[in-house]
Structure 1
Amino acid sequence: MLQRIQSVYLFISLIVASVLPLFFNLWITTTKKAVFAFDNLVYTSLFGTSALLALISIFSYKNRQNQFVINRLNMILNFILIGLLVYHSLTLSGEATVSEKGIGMFLPIFSIVFLALANKAIKKDEDLVKSVDRIR
């Protein structure tokens, strides 16, 4: 059932983790060079893993508990990504190399929001199935 609302949320999370880092920069250096997520191997692997987990979660719709756990792992991965981005932006002193922060630093936050919405919808589906089983 790929038409469920949690699949839509997971697809949006997949787009946020895989396509949007190509277009939105993480920061701009003092030499006015935009730094994207795919310029750094660590950020590339974290965004790629997040996109892969979202894709796996979309196609594991038959096992809702497994889908819920995969989404939780993806949220933890995005929190790690946020932590690395914040650490990188705060450890650089003043105008050393980062001149301006980009919108790409907020992409993991958007991904976490859509993953949380998907988990809420999965929980709602699970509760509905349990209530129907109770009536039988």
Structure 2
Amino acid sequence: MIQRLQSVWLLLAAAAAFCSIKLSFYSGNLIKDNQPKAFVSLTAQSNLLLLILTAGVGIASLIAIFLYKIRKMQLRIVLITLLVSLLNLGLYFAETQKYVPGEGKFDLTAVFAIFIPILLFLAIRGIRKDEKLVKSLDRLR
């Protein structure tokens, strides 16, 4: 299980997802009606939908690690997780529009959220390589 490279990619994606729950993605002055500007950091905890999607990506990545014997199901779960992580990233960028333009910045820890789809894509490549290897070995028997 751990000898497979995609298990490492999935574990790193899960770790990045769980880190991005607590660490900030964007910091700046938030625009609110009839209230003064307030310096706020955007994390997954600041929005319920972001929290649910981020935790779902992390949990699904961990579950996919243990499905190494059922590669087709593992591939489906990782593909769905990749789509959810891209949706999650889009929601992060949509939330940054609520901040005052020019008075905010992306934090260094935003890298965690950006790396999740990349790591999931690398895991998909590894799963497909395993599937091709198993099919080629079946032909030799």
- Between structures 1 and 2, the one with greater helix share: 1
How large is the RMSD of aligned CA atoms in angstroms? 1.9
> Using the alignment, how far apart are the partners of 1:88 and 1:33 within structure 2?
12
> Where does structure 1 lack aligned partners over 5 or more consecutive residues?
none
TM-score scaled by structure 2? Answer: 0.83
Shift of residue 9, structure 1, vs aligned partner: 0.5
Correspondence for 1:59 among 63, 66, 74: 66
1:50-78 deviation digits (Å, cap 9, x = unpaired): 00110110111110111111110011001
Question: How many percent identity over aligned positions?
Answer: 29
Aligned length: 133
- Between structures 1 and 2, the one with greater strand share: 2
> CA contact under 8 A between 1:82 and 1:105: conserved in structure 2?
no
Q: How does 1:57-136 map to 2 (within 5 A)?
A: 57-90=64-97, 92=99, 94=101, 99-136=104-141
> CA contact under 8 A between 2:28 and 2:100: conserved in structure 1?
no
> Using the alignment, how far apart are the partners of 1:63 and 1:70 within structure 2?
11
> CA contact under 8 A between 1:85 and 1:105: conserved in structure 2?
no
TM-score scaled by structure 1? Answer: 0.86
> Using the alignment, how far apart are the partners of 1:3 and 1:135 within structure 2?
23
> Where does structure 2 lack aligned partners over 5 or more consecutive residues?
30-37
Superposed structure 1 runs of 4+ greater than 6 Å apart = none
